[in-house]
Each structure stands twice: as structure tokens, then as C-alpha cells.
Structure 1
Amino acid sequence: MEARWGAAVRLLVLVRTWWLVAGQVRYSVPEEAKVGTVVGRLSQELGVGDAEARRLRVVWQGRRAGVEVSGASGALVVSSRVDREELCGKSAPCSLRLELLQERPLRVFHVELEVTDINDNAPLFPAARKNISMAELTTVPGSRFPLEGASDADIGANAQLSYTLSPSEHFTLDVKSPDENRKSLFLVLLNALDRETVPVHRLVLTATDAGRPSLTGTMELLISLLDANDNAPQFNQSAYKVQLPENVAEGSVVVRVNATDPDEGLNKEFSYSIVSAVPGDSRGLFSIDPKTGEIKLTKSLDYEDVRLHELQIEARDKGTPPLSGHCSVELEVLDVNDNAPEVWVTSLSVPVSEDASVGTVVALLSVSDRDSGANGRVQCSVWPSWPFVLESRFPGSFSLVLREALDRERVREYEVEVRAEDGGKPPLRARRVVRVPVCDVNDNAPAFSQAVYTVLVRENNAAGAEVARVWARDPDEAENGRVRYSLWEGGAGGASVAAVGWRPASSYVSVDGESGRVWAVQALDYEELQVLQFEVRAVDAGEPALVGNATVQLFVVDENDNAPVLLPAAGGAPGLDPFLGSPVEEVPGANSETLWAWAAWGAGAGQVVAKIRAVDADSGYNAWLRYEVLEPRGKGPFRVGVYSGEVSTARALEEADGPRQRLVIVVRDHGEPPRSATATLSVSLVEGGEKALSGSSSSLPGVLLPSEGGAAAGMASASTNVWLVVSICAVSSVFVLALVLYGASRCAPRAAVLSGPAAATLVCASEVGSWSYSQRQSRSLCVADGAGKSDLMVFSPNLPPPPPPSVPAAKDTSQAEPSSLLDTVSSFWFITLLRPPHIPQRSRCWDPVSDSAS
């Protein structure tokens, strides 16, 4: 005996172990079990441990049974009344699918609960009494009268009924079983009836089920004997079988029954009626025409509710007593796809971090369809197809799984639509929207709106003034997207920085950490700083913090804050204009504005006697200089080049002009407002001989020799000495000598052009030009006819010394020119040539070697 129990226990353990391996546990509970009855030990059999700590609970799909998980013991117990007939009706077996959801960690267990039947329903007849009329004499022995059987809500053996009839010498009971689920009852007459002997027969029909203990139900048969109508209506078929789809329209004809009666008169006339239906409530679904026998549908059918309807049809004549014939109509309901799938979200884990790994389970879903066959097979999909996918491990159970990496900056929240479609034709669909928000991580560095910010700021700006504003965007949210700005040290750039040394950018500008506003720490000076380049960093508040950079190029715009300055001669010695070759001496002193020069009487118009040299520390238009004669006003004997600064004779000089002319020359720039400087030029008018004498003895500092040199002096001497020649021969000789000297001077090289053994340098300038010297910039441009408004020229100070001039008196004076030129210009001369609009532009180029103009 113990060996048999041991084998049974081992078999039970083996079955349970197979169920666990298969991924599903099966339990069985009898209906009407007491509340608290233990169905199964989940903690031991599923291996979940502490069920209360892991939050194990039952998730229902559709019908609910009265079972729950006990949090204390982890067992599946009966929590309320369990009625198999209410849950499953006549379906056998009654199997319910449960889902056990474990939330810590997230897992799903599938449990199949079978509710077993007990014999708790007694057989039930359609009525407590049935009246039967029989004609005496004409009712022959062996006549059969159909009876309605009882129904039992139980299933299996508990619903297997047996019938007995109370003892009677006239009647017996005939039971036929077309199949195991149905039984046909007939009351059979054994002996002829005599109404005068027994007018009424009372019998009891008892139905007994096969349950333990068995239950019974009874129906009283009241048999009344009537006089002779000895032919009952007869149907052409004893059973009619019909198949109808469940979506057939109300009012449709189900079937038409037909019966005949061989009697005549009233005994031949009969009417049809529905006397019973299985199940009982099916009687209200159909109606029959009492004259034609046409059965119609009065309400809609539902395959999911009742799949088979059985009707008992009676044809009763109008004889006395009336006789009746009977037939059955079996209606099989065919399934159509009239139920859409249903989708439930059983668990949802949101929000999802944007750095969640691929394969993370976001939600658990259950899908079901009440239809059967292909109409109940459901396929699920998810839209959009990224970044989530549906995975199924058991029928009707799906997991929403992450299949691609998330990016909250691209999509903050997903609306995932779960689509379910059954296999019917046409298929039915269901949708369920699952909202999946994405939480942020710090995965984006701040990004500036520009990689390089170019800013123009006028010099002499106020300290603390805003010069620029930078802005960086971080697409992250909250602290991950909060940006602070800081200055990343850079150096200052410009022509003057080398002189003052390197200075950090923070000594010029500062950046506000919250707004990104760049403001000046001090006033900027273009003459000190032209370009300031630095970097601005943007750092977010995430963990770890991310950084973005942007370059700011700050260009200082020049203002006209420097007046023109006259260039002094180096060492106080006479300065040689590098293009005229005329000695100019300034009054000693660094800021001397009084210049001395001389001119010979009789000199023609256009003779250059001096050149004013000035420089402006500004640049551009602010350094473009203009020369004007301030005194004397009106038509004086001298004029000054508007842009060149060359002082030349406006007409031929006469003795009436006096021995000395005083000119006041103003030098203005083109700034707004313009600034100016004033120079006083004292021009001595002398004879040609005195001019040569002063040039040879160098006894008159500050004297300027004219550019014509010895040829012009010879002509002036000849015109002056003609009054001293006594004889005609002497005058003729001097005249011939003057012609020879004049011709030689025209062929000799000019003393104003520098030349030497170096390579030839082509120098281009327009006829109307201006000379502006800048020690910070160097550019060159040669402009021909029809060129733009400005001509730019660069002259290198590294030129060879000039050759000895043709006039001996000017030799000593010109020796100091190269050193003076080198001291005046440190690197390059920036010269701007402007063409007045009323003078046609013609390009003239000098070759220093050949001294020729083209």
C-alpha cells in the first residue's frame, strides 16, 4: 500500500515538474468550494519565494473566477463563490486561463485553472405539469406521445439523466438516445383506453441524474380521454436539420415544416406551434406561422452564446378531441467573424530613460478574441515599427520591447499603437495606444548659434558697455540643459600689441555667466589694439558636465581721435624730401611748425619750392590728409598741392613780391569731425646767383633748392649777367654758353631721383596724388587711367643713395638725404593717391635707373 502511494506521489511530482518546464501550471478546483480553500502552493511550485514581497497577483482576461493569491502564504486560494455553470455553462471541460504577474522583478506565469463539476443542479422539466389529450377507442395500443425531457445544468455524469414513469397498466415510457447528449421520450399506450372507465390518467415522470448523490426532478402527466378523432397530423420529416450563420438578419426564414392529416372536416384542419426549445430561452428567438409552418428568426443569433438550438414543433388538428403530430428542428449556428480582438495593458513601466538598453521590456499586453477557429486567431503588430517591437512567448500574451536606442531630444514621447487583427474574412482589428514618455540624460553638449562671432566695436567705448552677446543651445532639459558661460583666455591681436606685450583677453572683456553678454572691461584704443580674439565656453549643469566652445573675433573700429602731426627732420638737420630732393630745414624742436625755403625771382609757374610732410596716427579716411593755404588768402604767388603737400609757384615771381613770403598751411584729415595741424612756411626770394652761392656755402639753413638744378640756375644767371656784359662778344659768348648748358641740363639725370646699383624699381603715381605716411600698415597699388578713387603706393626705405647732382652747390646738402629718409620711415610708407573728379587721371611711371617717364 505504501509503495503504491509513493509511486502516486512521484507521478504527481513528475507531472507538476513537466508543467513547470512547459512554462504553464495547471490546477483544479471543484465548484462551490469553500472560501479559503487552497488551490495550489504557488511559492513552492513556481519558485517565486516570498509572494508578498514580489507582489504576485492574478491578472484576469475576460471571465473572472473567485480565486486570488494569498499574500501571506503565497498560495492560490478560493476568495468567493465558484460556480462552474455561471463561468462555463455547458462547456466541458471548464478551463480558465489565469496570468500571475510578478512585479519584482517583472515576470508573468501562466496558470490554467480547471473548475470541476459537482452534482449541485437537479434535473428540471420545462413545466411542472403536462396535459395530454387522447381519443378513446381511436387511440390504438402502441400509440406514441412525445414528452419533453428534463435539462440539467451540470455536465458529464452529473447531467446524464434516466427517466422512470409511475406504474400504470395502460402506459409505459420509451426512451431513445440519438446521441449521448440527447434523449427522446415517448409515452406509449399499452392497452386501449376507455374514457367511461377511467376518464383521466395521472402519471408522474421522474428524471434522475447519475451524480453522487443523484438528484431527481418530476413532471406530472395529466392524460385526458376524448372522443374519436383517430388521425393525428403527420410531418413529412421527424427531424429538420438547419445551419445558419450567426449574422443572419432578423426576420429571415429558418425553415418551413410541413404536416398532413388524412381526416376530413374540422379533424383535418390543424395549426403549427412551438411547444418546447433547448435551451429554454431559445424559444423567444423563433416564431412559427400557425398556418404555413414557416419558422422565422425574431432575434439575432450569437454563436459565442449558444451554438445549437433544438425546437419541438407540434401540429394540432381541430377535431374532437384534437390530435397532434410532432417533429424536431435542429438549428446549428455557424460562427462568423463578428467579434474584434481585445487588447489589455497588464503592466506598463514608464517613463523610459533615453539610454535604456535594447531589449528592455516596456509593457506587457494580453490579447483575446471571442470567436473560434481562424476567426479567433489574433496577430499583433506595433506601429510605428520603431523603436519598439512586440514579442510573444505564449498565445495571447505580448511584451512591448525596446529595439532601438532612444533620443529624447528627437522624440520626447512615443504614442505606440498596438494593432491586433484576427484571421477572419474580412478580418477585424483592434487598437490600443500606449504612451511611453522618455526621460532625459545629459548626452548633448551646448552648441553655439555661430562657431565664430565677428564683432565691430568703436574705440573709446565706455567701460561696462555691451559689445556682443553669444548664445548656446542645449537640447537637454532641466539641469542638463542649463548653460553657463565663461571666458576662455586668449591673446589680443594688432599692430601695436607687440610694443605693449601680450595681454590676456580678460583685461579687455568679460562674459556674463547667465546671459552670455560680452561687455568691455575698459575703453578700447584702436592705436593699441585692432583685433581681439578669444573663446567663450558654455558648460551645462549635467553629470558629467558637457562643454561647447565658440570663437569671438572683436575688431576695433577706428575713430578720428588723432590730429595730423608734422614730421620733424631727424636730428634737427635739414630734411630731404625723398621725391623732390630739396633740402627743407625746420625750426629746432620736436613740435616745430615753422619751415624755411627759398625761391628764385623769375621762376616760372609750377616750380616746387617745398613739401609739407605730415602723418596721422588714425587709419582710413581718418588718416587721409588734405593741405590748404590758410594765409595769405586770395591769389598769392604760391599754392599747395591739395593731397601732395607740395608748395609750388602759382605764377612767375617778381621783385614786387618782396624778399620774403610767409605762408600758413593747414593740414586736415577727412574724419568726422575733422582734425587739423598748422605749419608756417617762410619762403625767401633771392637772385639766381645768391641761390647758388647759398647752396654751395650752406650758410643759409632752411633753404630749399628748386628741382630744375644747374640748368635753371644757368638760365637765371645768363639773364641777370646780360646787363653786366659790356661788349657784344661777351654777351654772345655767354648766350652760346647758356644754350649749351641748357641742352646739357636737359640730358643730365635729375637730382631728385634716387638711383644706384640695385635692381630697377618701377614707381607709379598719378599726376594728382597725395602722400600719407603710416608706420603701422603697408599696401601697394598702381592705378592707370580710369581706375578707382584711391591709389595706394608703398616705397621701401632700403633704397641706394642718389648719385652726385649736376650742381656742385647742392652736393653737400643732398648727402644727408638717405639717413634722413631711413630715420623718418621705420618700415613702410602707406601712401594714398586720390584723383579729383575734375582732373583727368593719367598714369606716370618713373624708372630710377633710366630717369625716364612713361
Structure 2
Amino acid sequence: HLLLFLLFVGPFNCFASYSRATELFYSLNEGLPAGVLIGSLARDLRLPTAGGQDPASLQPPLSFTLASHGLGGQYVQLDNRSGELHTSAVEIDREALCVESSGATILGGSAAVSSSSPSPESCLLLLDVLVLPQEYFRLVKVKIAIRDVNDNAPRFPVPHIRLLVPENAPVNTRLAIEHAALDPDMGTNGVQTYRLRDNYGVFTLDVEENENGERTPYLIVMGALDRETQAEYVTVIIAEDGGTPPLVGSATLTIGISDINDNCPQFNDSQFNVTLYGNSSLGTHVATVHAVDMDLGSNAQITYSYSQKVPQPSRDLFHLNESTGAITLSTKVDGDTPRLHRLIILGNGPGCIPAVITVLVTIIKVMMRPPEVVPRFIANEVEGVVYLKELEPINTPVAFFTIKDPDEKYKVSCYLDGDGPFRLSPYKPYNNEYLLETTKPLDFETQQLYEISVVAWNSEGFHVKKVIKIQVLDDNDNSPVFSEQLIELSIEENNVPNAFLTKLHATDADSGERGQVSYFLGPDAPSYFALDKTTGVLTVSTQLDREEKEKYRYTVKAVDSGFPPRESIATVTITVLDKNDNSPRFINKDFSFFVPENFPGFGEIGVISVTDADAGQNGWVALSVLNGSDIFVIDTGKGVLRAKVSLDREQQSSYVLWIEAVD
């Protein structure tokens, strides 16, 4: 029993005396190169050495081993004899290892990366190291804290940030900039401050930090804003971290000033004067008032109305367009109409006191009567519209016009206003008669309606205009036109009945029924071809046989519905394509040939003639001897029969051969 006790206690006391330090803590910067010393486990564990020599000189020597190679083990190199721990060739990136300070641990066997730590900025690399031999055995927990370095610049999630600020925003208004800059670095190496490259003297930035340490920039209004003065401010927002030296990131910040209804309509003048001749026609434009509102959209909408001070006779005489502000003459001026009208007009805006302008209209009494323009139409005229057929000859008369002064006091002249092939000329020998006629044929397809005016004026400058509308009537002056004059088609023989060949298409520039096209076969078309009158679909009702006829050529017609009808002709050519529908055929049912005995070998005995009605490869025939091929041979292409050897009548006097023909 004593012996057993001594064997048990000895190793137990040795293990206990060297197991005080079971956890080591180191720290290093991220991004270090390979071979940087992190720490010496033998020294820091205070393991015994041989006279202060290297631990490997102990007998038996110390051995240091990672418990297993996991995620954390790739970043370090452990010397298993000296116990020195160095960085490996795999660079440590703190932001890649510890993305978030969430307390989660990424396990890797006995090695792990952890952000679990009393400090929210901690990023730990955990290693389990075994120390051997048995006399010094222990499991050492090694914790390596990865210190952050400023290796990342702040970055905004979007390159362009837009913020809207109402133009009536008071000073010290704060607006959060939602797209804050991001910096993977921690602590002071993260984003610390924001600034504007140009604050225009009315903006500044402030930063608020929440309980999670997130910093949000706020735009602060420092001065009065006016959208009508400046509707948009474009600057650059800059984020700066707290590293040494600091790193920065930027984005474009566009500050849009949104409109509010802070402006009212305004007229440039308070009053203006207008004169109107008493003989003015209804609808004559008198004046237009125009107010301006510097706001946008519905805030700038202006309507116009008469003031209640405007008497009803003036309202009846002058119409005011509430949208455009146009004033027009709405009733005829007569002898009882007042000569002076004071029109007080209001410019109304939403939520505004109306702007006011006064229009003084003075009506001038006109003693002279305007010139008279009296038309007498030669061409057909209905309710002021003259109807002329196209292709009427040049100098076709349209109308006579009598131009005169009703008071016979003033000289009256006239001219033709407007575009078109028309001419207005004096009709001799009369002084006040004018003839309107055409100068070239009219074409309905070019232009259907003309509007011209006969303008007369007297020596006092008084003008009168007579408007004439001329409608061109369509005539059947265009023939149908095929898209192709020669229509080349092809179809394989042995087609199905009523097979589709093509769809003909012709156009006619005339209008209405004159432009409707019907299709017909020419008299040279075989009866088994059919052409749909309306659609132009061409079909063949029967099977075509190329061996019977290979080419078809006939005409088709396109006829319009005018009177008399016009037509055009196109040619259709159809090529029937061959199919292998015929077998080879021998010219004779039997072939007999006579040769003398001892006929030399490969001499020509005779020709086997064969035909095939098909074309091309379908009609090429190959011949072969089915029996006796050891004695006889046949020329495949020419059909020449030959004997391979000299023939001996005493051995065999006749031969019966079977010849096969294959296309």
C-alpha cells in the first residue's frame, strides 16, 4: 500500500506545482507581417529550464502544441520546442474577424475568434495550447486581443445624397441625414466628425450619438431660405475619422428647397389704356392682363375675374378669359354703346389678397365704312367651302370677286393671302372685278384642303378679309401598284391540294373605294391556280408534277374600285421543285447480247439503257450485277456490260444476268 501511495502522490504534486498559470493574455495590432513575436509561453508560464537555458534542453524536453488547428490557428505559428508564439503569413484583419461587437464567437476547434469581452471594442483570438511531457502537462488558454488600427476610411453608402428643406424652415431646424458614413474601424478610428465643403452661409452640420455609439449627422439651418431666390444648394459632405493621420470620405449633398405658398400674384402695372375701333368684329382681341406668382405648381396658379365694381354692360361687352387673362369683344358695338369702359380686373391666387389692375378701354367711333368683298362662285360651293376635282386643268375659274368702297370715296385694292396653286387677277375691262383661278392641276394625294383669303384695303388703311376654303375632291387617277412586278415562287411537286403559294400585295394612292384593290388571275393562268379576290392569297388546287411540267408563267391583275376602274399587271413565275418520286426504268424489259467465244476480257458486250424521270441526284442511276458478278461487271454510270475473263462457249454457252438500277 505504501508503494502505491508514493507512485500516486509524486506525479500529483509535480502537476499541481506547475499548474498555477492556465490562462495567458496578449495583445497586438492587426495587419502585422509574418514572424512578429507575440509572446513566449515557457517564459510567461514560468516553466523550469535547465540552468536558465532554452526549455528544449530539458530532459525530457518541453513540447508545446495547439490542441487542434482551427480558424484561429491559421493566424499564428507556435514553436513546439521554445513555446514562442509568432504571427503567421496570414495577415490578421480585425474588421474581417470581428464584424460586429455582438458578443458572438466563431469557433474553430480549440482555436476561435471572439468579440466576447468586457470592452465592446474587444476582438479576441482564442487558442488552446497543450504543454507536455506529462510532468508539466497542462491546457493553457491563450487569449490574443487584436487592436484596431486606422486602416479604413469612412465611406458613404451612396455617392449622392438628396435632402429636402421647406423654404419656411426656421433657423436651427435640424434634419437628419439618413445615409450616414460607415467606417469598419472601431473607437476613435471610426467616424468622428462631419463637415460641409461649402455651407453657403446658411447651413452647418451637427453629430448626435445614440446609446449604441452610432453617430448620425444632422443638417442645421442657420439662415433664412427662399426658394424663389435659390431653389437648390449643391455641396460636398465630408466624414472624418479619429485616426492619426485621420482618413476622410465624401459624398455629394444636394439640398433642395421645397416651395410653400409665400408669394401672391402681382401685376407689373396698375393701369393701362386701350383703344378699340367701333366697327371691330366680334371676337376682336382687346388686351391681355398677366400677373406673376413666384411660387411653383398649384401655389402659383392664377385666375382672373372682374371686380364687383365693373358694371354689367361692360361685362357683357368684353369677355374675360379667367385662365389666360385675354379680353375680347363679345357683342357688337352700336351707337348706344358707351365710349369709355373702366375694367377693374383681379388676379387671384390661393390664400392671397387679389392683385388689381385697371384697363381703360376707349371706343373710337368710325365714320367710314369698310371695303366690301362680294364673291360670286363659279365652282361648286356649299356653306363657304368650294369643291374642286383634282386634275382640273390649269386656269380653272373658281370665283369672281367684286371689290368696292361702299361710300365710293376711297380707292380700294386687294390681294390674295395664303399658300396654294391659285391666282387672283383683275378681270378686264372692269375696274373692280377680280378672277380667282388655278395655276396648276390639283392633286388630292398631295393636299386635300386649302385656305386662302382675299384681302381688300382702302387708301385710309382699313382692311377687310374674306376667307375661302377649297376642298380638293379625289378622282381615280392612280392605278394599283404591285410591290413586285415579277413574283418568283417555288413549290415542291406532290404538294397537298389547295397549297398556299404567296399573298399578293398592291397599293392604290386614291381614297375611299377608288383605293380598294381586288386581285384576279390573268387569262394565261391554268385553271388549277386560284387567287382570292379580296386577300390576294394565291393557291394551287391540285398536285403538281415536275416531270409533267417544271415551269409556270402567267399574269395577275390588281384592279381598283374606281369608275372607270384602273388596273396593273404583274407576272408570276412558279418553279416546281423535284422530289424523288420516280423509280429508274429500263428501256427494254430484257436485253440480249451475242459475243463470239474467246471474246477478250473487259471487252464491251453491250449497253444496258435505263432512265429516271427525276432531276439532279434524284435522277442519277447506278447499275450493278446481282448474279455472276465474279465473271461480269457493269459500268455504273454508262451501263456498259463487260466480262472480266475470256468466255468459252464449250464451258458455258449462255448467261442470264439480273441487273439492278438504283437512283
TM-score (normalizing by structure 2): 0.39
Larger radius of gyration: 1
TM-score (normalizing by structure 1): 0.31
